[in-house]
Each structure stands twice: as structure tokens, then as C-alpha cells.
């Protein structure tokens, strides 16, 4: 199965959504996204970090080095309040676009 | 707060880029470790992650670190080029430092002296009330006149109020330490009209006028000088003229009105209430008026004229011809310092302009020589934005350094000028560089950076890279336009420098002429002592005995030639005028502007003055005074032009207001005419004077004039002599000895403001000249560099050094001539602006112009010769191989 490319900005949305579960480190975020999408959305792990950096720069997440359960030091990312707000907006916008695309493709209401 | 989180994150990344790198590396390692544990397959872990180097760079880009990289790179470029040509950077930074520093310092001084309002509420509405006569005479009105004004409905419509303040000297004693200070006795409404609040304690209000115990407010400067700024001063008792006075408040810095006062007491405490009832001229007093909101001084003058006319009719003896007038107290307190400060600020701004022109010229020159480097950069892919940014960073860094150096220079020069100018300008002790001025320096820096950096940058990038790469010779981006522009800039610089030189020359001429003025007496060797008798000498006979004993004591001091008495010495701070009536003439012909001098018989010989006609007072005139006056030449010329003043009868009035017989007429004839003596300064014309025997009207205080072989060295012995007569006249320590001064110093001091303005203008002119020379050297060096090949060819074909020198000189002489010419015109124009500072010197003084042209020519030629020598030494073969 070919891996579909992600639309720009989608990765950030997925990361924010994942972080609503609680503070996670980078690898856990990558795994979570892969698992939930049944391995359909297989992003290159490396691309996750520039996305996180952009979220940090926009103040949508914060990062902190903490002891992980395995005893290693890991950098945990936490979604901020404005991150949650942004996620809400993004999901709403995504729904609108997804619906519009579905309409154009003549599939509205079928699934 | 998302922006706060973002900011914190950005700041952390930008300030510690190394730590950022370490963190992302650690995070990546952690990622791979976990992935390895989960998948047990190393190769696919790498595949899953993607291009590590790419994502790391992406991440740095997301963190905007590439911007920092760019700036670091630009700075590194800059440092490298600074290392290659440190002179360039040093010259740019120094140029900016001088320009910005001087402007900041002068703007802070101008701001302080002129713009910062006095510490009074709406100080621009406060007026000093005066009376003027048709001859241009001025006097401070009397208390009864002010009382009449206060009752007048017209005055009430123009003013919130007018109030009379009586001045007096008093001895202030704190413990055993005494000094003489100025005291102001004020009426109830004074402080509310003045609009001054106390910094400590309170000011005195209407109720305090009736207080039985004497209360006083003191000035900030007295509080600092005598009480060391003691915060518990309020409630303390001091001794003022042997009476205990309680201090209830301290006024803020600069709140000093009248300007002579250091202590304010209710007028009910004034010791000579009878003076307050006299009409006429009240010396040592001030009348303060506060204009109503919406009324200007012209409208107020209309109301004042009405009351003035009424009073002139009611009291013809005292008020005829005297009409009310007013000047803003800002002008009274700040004086004519304004012209000087504005001139200096203009000169400072000229120097800043020069500095900016220079920096622009330097950056342009550098740019042209770097044209090919920039073209190469564009050719290998640097965007236009990137190139402009690089150039901007360079000029920003340079001007930031220049601005920092300038701010340091400004702080330093303000510190220096505070002590240096304290003698010349009022209220200098309060001067400091404030944040507004510092931000002004920052603004000037930024503008310079943008102006001098952005514009050449745009110019440079407009050219097509390939053109510049192909062009032969040393860089040629917009070369003709740029070099024309640089020539214009340098011409402008020489013109500005010449304007300043001309102004300096005119001021030097004025100073020389003022210093050469014959003051009418022999100042070196004269020591003056201000006699301030204590209340024990309040009766005239006692004071007269005291003066006689003081003269005898002074004469017995070894090295002393003679000693004399005068009420107000020339070049002293005080003087008094009398009312003159000449027999058989109308009052219109007389004036109140006659200085009134009471002198002892040996005053003429002690001062070494010259008689023009008739004779001076004899001892007999002293013993039985009356009927004889000596007048000065100016007075003789004014009232008896073309005929002899000798034996003319005239009447003057007694002038000491502290005496009961104040204003009584004294009639006599002129027995002698004495040559004019300058009274206030060498550059102010002498005014009419009448001399009367000091025994005719015993002045309540006065000056002991002592001629010694060596004035300065005889002061300690004179102090002892005065103390042997009356110890209370000279307080212990330096306080009392300040009352002794050397006449020569007093004479010299009057020209200090001139000397100061010369020094400052000359310093500006020197700065301007140096800057213009730097610009000139740059232009010449650049031209030579551009024509290296041409010069090489000429030399190879046998041109002599002289002919090549002439070639180079031809171009710079055009610049010098144009600059000098336009500078001369500018100098003539600005000389009209500083007309007030000129003395016996016209704006077209030949000497000033020829000197400044000579200086300019010599300096400009040497600025040409130094780089030109390089061209002469040029090896023709090497030059032809250039490029």
C-alpha cells in the first residue's frame, strides 16, 4: 500500500491531538500516530521534530526533560492551553475541508 | 500565555545555541535507543527516521536559528574586514562618537538651560513686573505702587495676582559658623502665586504672616551647602541676624525666586517697615505677577498702562513718566544665555551632519572597493536580501559601537561641563544627561545606520552582478555617480567647517577687542573686601567710624600702598542709581539711570583713575561734605554736550533705602570730570556716574579698595587687619575670606563667557576640520586608486612627479575652493545670527575671514598631499599590472 503524503500542517494537528492524552516524548508521539492510523500515516520519524520545534516556537506546546519510566532522561512535550484552542480550530477547519473534498468527489453521505 | 511560552523558548534557543544543539542530539539518541528496543532492527530504524542531517537542519530552521547564523556570519565577516582595515572601523566609530556625543551633550545642556521649565507651576505665565521711563530706564516698582496695582480692577482682570517681595542681606549663623545670605521677605500670596511646593516640610502660607515666632523656608542649595541635605532640617532653629528662626520647609532644586534669595521670611519680619511705605524706586526688590489663563503679556500691558497713567497723575513726584512693564521670569532667570546655547547646539548639529556625511562617504568608498566581492556573492547565489542584510548588519554594528562610544562621550562631557560651566551658566549644578537625551543619541545612531547603510546597500545591489565582475579597475558599482556624490559630500563638509571657523574667528576678534578695552583704572594689585557691618553699626556715625578704622588698618599692612572706600565697586555684583535733576531744565531731560557712588578722598589715587577736567574731592570736601560732585565723562557728554560740565548745578537724591533720609535731595555743583571707568564688564559701555563724598551719605555697607604691591599675597595679612578692627566682619574659615577678591580676577571673569564660547566653537571647528580632512583624504585616495593605471601609463610615458601631483591637486582644489566659498557665504549668514555675541566686530571682519581661509587651505592641502605622495611613489610597471 502506498503511503499517502500528509497535507502540510496536518502533522502538527496530529501531534497536538496526541498530546491531549498527556505529556509524551517524541518517540511515543510517533508510535501513537502510527498505531492509531493503523500504520497508514507513516511519517518519517525525523519530520516529527521540526514540527515539534514549530509548535514550541508558536507556544502551542512546552517541553521539559524528565525521568522516563525506563529510567532514562527524556524530553516530554505538553500541550498548552492555546495549543488546545488551536487544535479545536484546526479540527473544525479540517472537517470543513474534508467534507468539501468528499462532496467534490461525490461521496458525501455515502460512508 | 502562548506568546510568553514562545518567547521563553525562543530566548532559550537563541541565547544558548550550543545547548540547543546538545538537546536535539540527546533527543535523537533517545529516539533511536527506544526504537532499537522496540524494533530490534537498526537499519529500518534509520529508514524510519529519514535523513538525519536534513531533519536536524529543518529543526534549526524551525527554531529560526538560521537568522542568528546569518547575523553571526555577517559579524564574522565584519570582524574579518575590520581586522584587515582597522583604521576604517576606527575612523567610522570615532566619527560617529564625536558627532553623537557632542550633539547629545549639547542638546542636554540646551534642554536643561532652555527647555526644561522652571520648577514653578506654569512658569511661562510668571512675570517680573517693572517700570520703564521714556529714556529706556528700568526700575523695580515700590511696595505702595504694587499695592495700588493690587486694588485695580484692570490688573485683577489680567493677573491672578501681583505680589511684592523685599530683598535683604542677612547673617545666617549655624552654631559658630556664620555667612551672609540673601533673604526674601514675601507677602501672604507669594508662594501660591509662584506655584512652588516644598520638597521637604511646607511653604509658608497666609496664616504664617501673623505667626509670632519667626518662620522661614530655605532654598535647596542652602540646605545642601550648610546643612548637608539633612532630612531632619524641618523644625530646626537657626540664627538670622541675631534672631532665632525656625525652618519649616525646603524648596526643590532650582526653585529660587528672587534669584538672590536663599531664605524666605514673611514680610512682617522685615526690619525696616518704613522703607515699605516709600514710593519711587525700590532697589533690592521684586514684584511677581501671574498672568491669568488666556491673557498674554500684550493684553496685560494694556491694563497696566491704564493703572500706570492713573498713578502717574496721582503721584507726579514719584510716578511721572514711569509706566508699568513686564518680562517673563524665564528670561530674567535664564538671561541671554539663550543665544549662546542655541549657537552651540547649531554648531553641534553641524558637526553631527558632518559626521554622518563622513560616515556615508566612508561606507560608499568601501562599498566601491568591495563592489567585486559583492558581485561575486550575488553570482554564486546570495539573494539581494542577503547582500543588503550583510551590508546593513555591518553599518548597524559599526554605528551601534559608534553610538555607545558617543553616549559614553556625552555622559563624560556633561560631567566635565557641569563643573566647567558652573561659573558661566545659571543652575548648572542640576545638569545631567537624562534618558530622553540618551534615547535621542540612540535615535541618531539608528538613523545614521539606516541612512548610511541601507542606501549604499541598495545602490550596490541595483547593479547587475555580471557588469561589476566584468568591469575593470577597482570596483565600479555606480562609480561615476558615487564619486560625484562623495565630492559633493566633501565640499559640503569643507563649507560647514569653514562656517564654524569664520564664527570662531569673529568671536576671537571680538574677544581681543574686548580684552584690549581700557577699563579706566589699573586693576592689577587691587584687592576688594565687601564690608557687611553687623547690626551694631546700624547708626551712620558708627558705620563711618568703622570704615575709617578699616582703611587705616589696611594701610598699616606691609605691602599695601593705599586703601579707599566706595559703596559699590566696579566689576562688583551690585550698583545703585539715583534720580537726577539739572537746574533750569525740565525733568524730561534728566534720567534715573545715573550710578551713585559714595567714595573716600583717596579713591581716585587708589584706583589710578584719570581726571579729565577740574579736580577730585579734597580732604576738606570729606570733612565738610556738600555742594560738590564729581561726574564721569559719559555723564558730562550726555548732559552738557559740547560745553564744560564744570560748575554746573545739579540735584541728586539720597539712594540708600535703608536710611531714614532716603530720597532727600542733594544739590551741588560739578567740581571735576573723571575719565570713564567700566562698571560691569569690558564689553559693556560705561554708564553715567556721579561721585559723592562718602561722608555725605554714610552707606550701610560697602567695599574696601586696597592697592597692594602683590594683591594675592597681601590677603592673609588683610584678613588679620580687618579682624583686629571687627572680628565679626570676617567669619572663621573660607566663608568670610570669600569676601576678599582680586579686582583683576573680577575684570577677567567678565570675559569668561566670551572665552568659553570661543573655546567651544573652536573645538567644534576643529572637529569639523578633522572630519572634513578625513573625507578629503578618502576622496583623494579613492581617485588615485581608480586612476592607478592611468598614472602608471603617464609615468611610463615620462610624466614627472610634479605634473602628476598637479593632476591630483587640480581635483581637490576645486573641492577646496567651492567649499571655502560657500563656507564664507554661510559664515557671513551665521555671523548675523551671532551678532549679539560680537563686540566691535562686523560680520565681514577681514582678519577673521583671511585667517579662517588660510587655516582651511593649509589643512585641506595637507589632507590632499598625504595620500597624493602614494601616487608619486607609484611604480609604473606595478601600476600597469594592477588588476
Q: How many CB atoms lie within 10 A of CB B840?
A: 13
In this structure, are residues B775 and B487 in contact, taking their beta carbons and an 8 Å threshold?
no
Q: How far apart are CA B297 and CA B304, in angstroms?
A: 10
Task: Please tell me the predicted confidence (pLDDT) of residue B166.
Answer: 92
* Helix/strand/coil for B48: helix
Are B503 and B602 found together in one domain? no
Answer whether residue B92 is part of any domain: no
Of the candidates A7, A32, A18, which has an alpha carbon nearest to the alpha carbon of residue A87?
Answer: A18
pLDDT tens figures, B827-839: 898 888 888 788 8
Are B511 and B597 found together in one domain? no
Of the candidates B600, B540, B508, B534, which has an alpha carbon nearest to the alpha carbon of residue B849?
Answer: B508
Residue B434: band (very low, low, confident or very high) from pLDDT cuts 50, 70, 90: low
Task: Please tell me the predicted confidence (pLDDT) of residue B371.
Answer: 67
CB contact under 8 A, A44 and B49: yes
Q: How far apart are CA B855 and CA B770, in angstroms?
A: 12
**Which residues in A lie closer than 8 A to residue B23 (C-beta atoms)?**
65, 75
CB neighbours of B147 closer than 8 A, spacing ≥ 6?
Answer: B164
Per-residue pLDDT at B650 exceeds 80: yes
Task: Please tell me the predicted confidence (pLDDT) of residue B319.
Answer: 86
Per-residue pLDDT at B537 exceeds 90: no
Q: How far apart are CA B675 and CA B610, in angstroms?
A: 5
pLDDT tens figures, B243-287: 899 999 999 877 888 888 999 999 988 888 888 888 887 878 899
Are B562 and B509 found together in one domain? no
Answer whether residue B98 is part of any domain: no
* Helix/strand/coil for B597: strand
Answer whether residue B85 is part of any domain: no
**Which residues in B lie closer than 8 A to residue A60 (C-beta atoms)?**
2
Which residue in chain B is spatially nearest to A26 when comparing CA positions? Answer: B31
| Most confident residue range from A1-5, B160-164, B411-415 | B160-164
In this structure, are residues B597 and B566 in contact, taking their beta carbons and an 8 Å threshold?
yes
Which residue in chain A is spatially nearest to B6 when comparing CA positions? Answer: A59
Q: How far is B762 from chain A (nearest CA, A)?
A: 56
From B714, B738, B762, the end of a domain falls on B738
List residues in chain A touching B: CB distance below 8 A: 25-27, 30-31, 44-47, 49-51, 53-54, 56-60, 62-63, 65, 72-75, 80-83
Interface check B31 vs A, CB under 8 A: yes
Answer whether residue B774 is part of any domain: yes
Q: Among B569-578, B598-607, B819-828, name the one with the lowest average pLDDT.
A: B569-578
Task: Please tell me the predicted confidence (pLDDT) of residue B475.
Answer: 43
SS3 content of chain B, % helix, strand, coil (to 5): 60, 15, 25
CB contact under 8 A, B34 and A27: yes
Are B264 and B155 found together in one domain? yes
Residue that has been written with the C-alpha cell 591637486 in this structure = B809
Chain B interface disruption, residue of A5, A43, A46, most B CBs within 10 A: A46
Q: How far is B291 from chain A (nearest CA, A)?
A: 59
Return the bridge partners of B262, or none. Answer: none
Are B582 and B654 found together in one domain? yes
CB neighbours of B799 closer than 8 A, spacing ≥ 6?
Answer: none
Are B758 and B842 found together in one domain? yes
Are B876 and B830 found together in one domain? yes
Number of domains in chain B: 4
* Helix/strand/coil for B584: coil
Are B356 and B484 found together in one domain? yes
- Alpha carbon distances (Å) from B370 to B169, B313, B468: 72, 85, 10
| Most confident residue range from A95-99, B47-51, B703-707 | B703-707
Average pLDDT over residues B145-171: 91
Return the bridge partners of B171, or none. Answer: B180
Interface check B212 vs A, CB under 8 A: no
Of the candidates B455, B482, B477, B456, which has an alpha carbon nearest to the alpha carbon of residue B467?
Answer: B477
pLDDT tens figures, B837-877: 888 888 888 899 999 999 998 888 888 888 888 777 767 67
Q: How far apart are CA B708 and CA B524, in angstroms?
A: 9
Residue A7: band (very low, low, confident or very high) from pLDDT cuts 50, 70, 90: low
Q: How far is B27 from chain A (nearest CA, A)?
A: 7
CB contact under 8 A, A47 and B27: no
CB contact under 8 A, B30 and A59: no
Of the candidates B330, B326, B304, which has an alpha carbon nearest to the alpha carbon of residue B124?
Answer: B330
Chain B interface disruption, residue of A3, A56, A70, most B CBs within 10 A: A56
From B738, B762, B784, the end of a domain falls on B738
Are B605 and B674 found together in one domain? yes
Task: Measure the CA angle with vertex B67, ends B66 and B73; round to 5°.
Answer: 85
CB pairs under 8 A between A and B: 85
- Alpha carbon distances (Å) from B14 to A53, B448, B457, B485, B862: 13, 27, 27, 41, 50
Residue that has been written with the C-alpha cell 582678519 in this structure = B847
Residue B633: band (very low, low, confident or very high) from pLDDT cuts 50, 70, 90: very high
pLDDT tens figures, B458-510: 666 665 544 555 544 334 445 666 778 778 888 988 898 999 899 999 999 99
Which residue in chain B is spatially nearest to A83 when comparing CA positions? Answer: B2
Which residue in chain B is spatially nearest to A34 when comparing CA positions? Answer: B48
**Which residues in B lie closer than 8 A to residue A62 (C-beta atoms)?**
5, 9
Domain that holds residue B612: 533-738
**Which residues in A lie closer than 8 A to residue B3 (C-beta atoms)?**
59
In this structure, are residues B386 and B76 in contact, taking their beta carbons and an 8 Å threshold?
no
Task: Please tell me the predicted confidence (pLDDT) of residue B471.
Answer: 47
Are B356 and B488 found together in one domain? yes
In this structure, are residues A4 and A68 in contact, taking their beta carbons and an 8 Å threshold?
no
* Helix/strand/coil for B705: strand
- Alpha carbon distances (Å) from B777 to B247, B362, B370, B784, B808: 66, 10, 19, 10, 12
pLDDT tens figures, B174-186: 877 777 788 999 9
Are B410 and B511 found together in one domain? yes
Of the candidates B500, B493, B504, B496, which has an alpha carbon nearest to the alpha carbon of residue B863?
Answer: B493
Mean pLDDT of chain B: 82
Q: Where are the domains of chain A?
A: 10-104
Residue A1: band (very low, low, confident or very high) from pLDDT cuts 50, 70, 90: very low
Are B508 and B544 found together in one domain? no
**Which residues in B lie closer than 8 A to residue A30 (C-beta atoms)?**
31
CB contact under 8 A, A46 and B62: no
Which grid coordinates are listed for B602? 583717596
Q: How far apart are CA B388 and CA B374, in angstroms?
A: 10
**Which residues in A lie closer than 8 A to residue B67 (C-beta atoms)?**
none
Task: Please tell me the predicted confidence (pLDDT) of residue B472.
Answer: 43
Rg over CA atoms, chain A: 16
Yes or no: is domain A10-104 CATH 2.40.50.140? no
Amino acid at each position: 500500500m502506498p503511503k499517502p503524503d500528509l497535507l502540510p500542517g496536518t502533522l502538527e494537528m496530529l501531534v497536538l491531538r496526541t498530546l491531549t492524552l498527556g505529556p509524551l516524548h517524541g518517540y511515543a508521539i510517533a508510535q501513537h500516530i502510527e498505531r492509531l492510523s493503523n500504520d497508514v500515516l507513516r511519517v518519517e520519524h525525523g519530520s516529527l521534530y521540526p514540527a515539534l520545534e514549530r509548535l514550541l516556537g508558536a507556544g502551542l506546546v512546552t517541553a521539559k526533560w524528565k525521568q522516563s519510566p525506563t529510567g532514562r532522561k527524556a524530553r516530554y512535550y505538553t500541550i498548552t492551553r492555546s495549543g488546545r484552542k488551536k487544535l479545536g480550530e484546526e479540527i473544525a477547519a479540517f472537517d470543513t475541508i474534508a467534507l468539501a473534498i468528499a462532496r467534490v468527489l461525490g461521496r458525501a453521505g455515502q460512508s | 500565555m502562548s506568546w510568553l511560552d514562545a518567547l521563553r523558548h525562543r530566548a532559550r534557543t537563541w541565547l544558548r545555541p550550543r545547548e540547543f544543539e546538545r538537546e536535539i542530539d540527546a533527543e535523537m539518541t533517545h529516539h533511536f535507543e527506544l526504537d532499537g528496543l522496540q524494533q530490534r532492527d537498526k537499519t529500518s530504524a534509520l529508514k524510519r527516521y529519514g535523513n538525519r542531517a536534513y531533519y536536524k537542519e529543518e529543526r534549526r530552521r524551525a527554531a529560526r536559528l538560521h537568522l542568528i547564523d546569518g547575523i553571526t556570519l555577517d559579524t564574522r565577516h565584519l570582524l574579518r574586514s575590520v581586522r584587515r582595515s582597522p583604521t576604517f572601523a576606527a575612523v567610522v566609530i570615532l566619527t560617529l562618537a564625536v558627532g553623537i556625543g557632542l550633539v547629545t551633550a549639547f542638546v542636554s545642556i540646551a534642554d536643561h538651560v532652555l527647555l526644561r521649565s522652571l520648577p514653578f507651576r506654569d512658569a511661562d505665565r510668571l512675570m517680573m513686573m517693572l517700570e520703564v521711563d521714556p529714556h529706556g530706564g528700568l526700575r523695580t516698582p515700590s511696595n505702595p505702587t504694587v499695592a495700588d496695582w493690587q486694588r485695580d480692577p484692570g490688573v485683577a482682570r489680567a493677573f491672578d495676582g501681583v505680589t511684592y517681595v523685599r530683598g535683604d542681606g542677612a547673617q545666617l549663623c549655624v552654631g559658630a559658623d556664620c555667612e551672609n545670605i540673601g533673604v526674601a521677605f514675601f507677602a501672604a500670596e507669594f508662594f501660591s502665586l509662584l506655584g512652588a511646593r516644598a520638597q521637604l516640610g511646607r511653604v509658608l502660607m497666609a496664616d504664617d504672616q501673623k505667626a509670632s515666632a519667626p518662620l522661614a523656608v530655605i532654598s535647596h542649595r542652602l540646605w545642601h551647602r550648610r546643612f548637608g541635605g539633612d532630612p531632619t532640617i524641618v523644625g530646626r532653629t537657626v540664627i538670622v541676624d541675631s534672631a532665632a528662626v525656625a525652618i519649616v520647609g525646603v524648596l526643590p532644586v532650582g526653585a529660587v525666586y528672587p534669584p538672590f534669595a536663599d531664605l524666605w521670611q514673611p514680610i512682617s519680619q522685615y526690619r525696616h517697615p518704613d522703607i515699605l511705605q516709600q514710593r519711587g524706586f525700590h532697589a533690592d526688590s521684586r514684584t511677581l505677577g501671574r498672568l491669568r489663563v488666556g491673557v498674554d503679556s500684550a493684553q496685560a500691558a494694556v491694563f497696566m498702562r491704564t493703572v500706570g497713567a492713573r498713578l502717574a497723575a496721582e503721584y507726579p513726584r514719584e510716578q511721572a513718566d514711569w509706566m508699568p512693564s513686564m518680562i517673563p521670569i524665564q528670561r530674567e532667570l535664564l538671561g541671554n544665555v539663550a543665544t549662546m546655547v542655541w549657537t552651540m547646539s547649531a554648531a553641534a548639529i553641524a558637526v553631527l551632519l558632518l559626521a554622518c556625511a563622513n560616515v556615508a562617504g566612508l561606507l560608499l568608498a568601501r562599498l566601491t572597493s568591495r563592489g567585486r566581492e559583492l558581485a561575486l556573492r550575488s553570482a554564486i547565489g546570495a539573494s539581494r536580501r542577503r547582500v543588503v542584510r550583510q551590508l546593513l548588519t555591518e553599518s548597524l554594528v559599526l554605528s551601534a559601537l559608534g553610538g555607545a562610544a558617543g553616549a559614553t562621550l556625552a555622559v563624560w562631557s556633561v560631567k566635565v561641563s557641569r563643573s566647567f560651566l558652573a561659573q558661566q551658566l545659571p543652575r548648572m549644578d542640576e545638569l545631567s544627561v537624562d534618558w530622553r537625551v540618551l534615547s535621542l543619541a540612540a535615535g541618531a545612531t539608528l538613523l545614521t545606520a539606516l541612512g548610511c547603510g541601507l542606501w549604499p546597500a541598495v545602490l550596490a545591489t541595483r547593479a547587475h552582478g555580471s557588469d561589476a565582475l566584468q568591469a575593470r579597475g577597482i570596483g565600479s558599482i555606480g562609480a561615476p555617480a558615487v564619486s560625484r556624490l562623495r565630492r559633493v559630500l566633501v565640499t559640503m563638509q569643507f563649507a560647514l567647517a569653514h562656517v564654524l571657523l569664520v564664527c570662531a574667528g569673529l568671536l576671537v576678534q571680538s574677544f581681543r577687542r574686548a580684552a584690549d578695552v581700557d577699563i579706566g583704572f589699573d586693576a592689577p594689585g587691587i584687592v576688594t573686601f565687601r564690608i557687611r557691618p553687623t547690626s551694631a553699626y546700624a547708626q551712620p556715625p558708627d558705620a563711618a567710624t568703622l570704615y575709617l578704622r578699616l582703611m587705616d588698618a589696611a594701610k598699616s599692612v606691609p605691602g599695601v600702598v593705599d586703601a579707599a572706600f566706595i559703596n559699590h565697586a566696579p566689576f562688583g555684583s551690585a550698583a545703585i542709581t539715583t534720580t537726577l535733576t539739572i537746574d533750569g531744565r525740565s525733568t524730561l531731560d534728566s534720567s534715573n539711570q545715573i550710578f551713585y557712588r559714595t567714595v573716600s578722598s583717596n579713591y581716585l589715587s587708589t584706583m589710578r583713575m584719570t581726571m579729565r577736567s577740574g579736580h577730585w574731592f579734597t580732604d576738606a570736601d570729606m570733612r565738610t561734605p556738600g555742594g560738590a560732585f564729581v561726574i564721569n565723562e559719559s555723564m558730562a557728554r550726555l548732559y552738557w554736550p559740547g560745553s564744560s560740565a564744570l560748575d554746573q548745578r545739579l540735584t541728586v537724591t539720597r539712594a540708600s533705602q535703608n536710611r531714614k533720609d532716603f530720597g532727600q535731595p542733594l544739590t551741588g555743583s560739578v567740581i571735576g570730570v573723571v575719565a570713564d571707568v567700566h562698571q560691569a564688564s569690558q564689553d559693556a559701555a560705561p554708564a553715567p556716574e556721579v561721585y559723592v563724598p562718602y561722608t555725605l551719605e554714610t552707606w550701610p555697607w560697602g567695599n574696601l579698595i586696597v592697592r597692594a604691591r602683590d594683591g594675592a599675597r597681601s590677603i592673609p595679612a588683610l584678613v588679620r587687619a580687618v579682624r583686629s578692627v571687627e572680628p565679626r566682619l570676617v567669619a572663621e574659615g573660607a566663608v568670610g575670606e570669600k569676601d576678599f577678591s582680586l579686582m583683576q580676577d573680577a575684570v577677567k571673569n567678565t570675559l569668561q563667557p566670551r572665552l568659553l564660547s570661543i573655546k567651544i566653537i573652536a573645538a567644534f571647528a576643529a572637529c569639523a576640520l578633522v572630519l572634513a580632512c578625513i573625507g578629503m583624504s578618502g576622496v583623494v585616495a579613492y581617485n588615485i586608486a581608480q586612476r592607478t593605471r592611468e598614472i602608471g601609463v603617464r609615468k611610463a610615458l615620462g610624466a614627472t612627479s610634479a605634473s602628476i601631483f598637479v593632476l591630483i591637486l587640480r581635483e581637490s582644489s576645486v573641492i577646496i575652493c567651492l567649499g571655502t566659498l560657500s563656507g564664507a557665504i554661510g559664515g557671513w549668514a551665521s555671523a548675523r545670527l551671532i551678532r549679539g555675541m560680537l563686540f566691535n566686530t562686523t560680520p565681514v571682519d577681514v582678519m577673521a575671514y583671511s585667517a579662517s581661509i588660510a587655516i582651511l587651505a593649509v589643512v585641506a592641502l595637507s589632507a590632499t598631499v598625504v595620500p597624493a605622495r602614494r601616487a608619486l611613489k607609484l611604480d609604473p610597471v606595478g601600476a600597469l599590472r594592477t588588476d
